């Protein structure tokens, strides 16, 4: 089959690879309904994360189960499933505590920018719908797999509640999903920090009440102005750079909480600033599995349309252009037809 392989930074190809096979009795093989490119795929693509050997890319997926291993109990061929980028048994102490992304058996999904993929720990990782959903819901269900699940976790970790004031740092796909999540959780004020007209527009569609285009000190002043000099009770950090963490800390009120889901690159913390600032933080790879049943329900009931975040659709064969478009920020998020 043709699939996506990153050979070295900047060198992404659609090329012939072996079809996935059941390797362990707890595996499943799925036929993907669609795939997509993640903002985090850009880290190795840009050379900010080492590429030691050719990598099969892709960790966001939904589709039909075609085969299961001998020990798979609940997942069956023919089911439509959505899974997380973290593969988890959903039964160890960390999973039962709701942190499936720290599962004792955790693995990270790969090879999903392809027509078929192997999913390890199928019973723990995959959530099936009761029937095969209509094709028009596939982009929304695909978004649940990572980008919505991650934005949702950012809002959950930042303790967004009914009536909250929320700042979202980052207008990438995850930040936009954080806006949607905050809205669904009942936030009263959602301030999206964004400099790009098309992303501002989408943020408003997803529920942002205010847009702040300024960054750095000016951005912080604007947030203070909008919050009566106080800062926000919940801040979602959805980028992962030193500047964005700085912004998130400065926008948060004393006693406020920062949910951080951008993978930190070059970020370090000043202990005294955290101590005297009285900031609470929770983040890391999102335990998407915890949220999957609820988020899939919201999509199936057409309460939310997270698939709107895909603003470019390409056939898998044109994956090179997809990476380029996201790298150059011409596209927010690229869906791949497989
Ligand atoms: Zn586990």
What domains can you pick out in the chain, each with its CATH number?
Answer: 2-148+286-337 (3.90.180.10), 150-283 (3.40.50.720)
Query: Alpha-carbon distance 105 to 86, whole Å?
Result: 10
At residue 28's C-alpha, the angle toward residues 87 and 131, to 5°, is 100
Whole-number pLDDT of residue 106: 96
Quote the percentage of the chain above a pLDDT of 90.
95
Q: How far is the CA of 311 from the centre of ligand 1 (A)?
A: 34
What pLDDT band is residue 149 in, cutting at 50, 70 and 90? very high
What pLDDT band is residue 11 in, cutting at 50, 70 and 90? very high
What pLDDT band is residue 269 in, cutting at 50, 70 and 90? confident
Q: How far is the CA of 123 from the centre of ligand 1 (A)?
A: 11
Q: How far is the CA of 109 from the centre of ligand 1 (A)?
A: 15
Q: How far is the CA of 248 from the centre of ligand 1 (A)?
A: 31
At residue 64's C-alpha, the angle toward residues 58 and 69, to 5°, is 85
Quote the percentage of the chain above a pLDDT of 70.
100
Residue-wise pLDDT tens digits, 178-236? 999 999 999 999 999 999 999 999 999 999 999 999 999 999 999 999 999 999 999 99
Report the run of H or E that residue 253 belongs to, with start and end: strand 252-260
Q: How far is the CA of 322 from the centre of ligand 1 (A)?
A: 34
pTM of the model: 0.96
Q: How far is the CA of 303 from the centre of ligand 1 (A)?
A: 30
Q: How far is the CA of 99 from the centre of ligand 1 (A)?
A: 8
């Amino acid at each position: 089959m043709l699939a996506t392989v990153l050979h070295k930074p900047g060198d992404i190809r659609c090329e012939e690879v072996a079809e996935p096979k059941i390797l362990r009795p707890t595996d499943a093989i799925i036929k993907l309904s669609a795939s997509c490119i993640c903002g985090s795929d850009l880290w190795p693509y840009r050379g900010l994360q080492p590429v030691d050997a050719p990598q099969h890319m892709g960790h966001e997926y939904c589709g039909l189960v075609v085969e299961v291993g001998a020990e798979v109990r609940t997942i069956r061929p023919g089911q439509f499933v959505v899974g997380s980028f973290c593969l988890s048994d959903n039964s160890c102490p960390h999973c039962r505590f709701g942190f499936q992304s720290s599962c004792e058996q955790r693995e990270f999904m790969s090879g999903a920018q392809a027509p078929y993929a192997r999913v390890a720990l199928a019973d723990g990782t995959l959530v099936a719908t009761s029937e095969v959903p209509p094709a028009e819901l596939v982009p929304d269900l695909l978004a649940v797999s990572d980008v919505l699940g991650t934005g949702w976790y950012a809002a959950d970790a930042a303790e967004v509640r009914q009536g909250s004031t929320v700042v979202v740092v980052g207008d990438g796909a995850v930040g936009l999903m954080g806006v949607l999540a905050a809205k669904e959780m009942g936030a009263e004020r959602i301030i999206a920090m964004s400099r790009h007209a098309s992303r501002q527009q989408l943020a408003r569609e997803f529920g942002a009440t205010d847009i702040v285009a300024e960054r750095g000190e000016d951005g912080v002043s604007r947030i203070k102005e909008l919050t009566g000099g106080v800062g926000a009770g919940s801040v979602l950090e959805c980028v992962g750079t030193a500047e964005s963490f700085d912004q998130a800390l400065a926008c948060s009120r004393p006693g406020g909480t920062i949910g951080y889901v951008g993978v930190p690159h070059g970020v370090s913390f000043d202990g005294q600033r955290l101590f005297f600032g009285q900031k609470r933080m929770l983040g890391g790879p999102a335990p998407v599995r915890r949220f999957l049943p609820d988020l899939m329900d919201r999509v199936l009931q057409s309460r939310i349309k997270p698939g709107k975040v895909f603003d470019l659709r390409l056939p898998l064969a044109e994956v090179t252009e997809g990476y380029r478009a996201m790298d150059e920020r011409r596209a927010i998020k690229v869906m791949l037809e497989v």
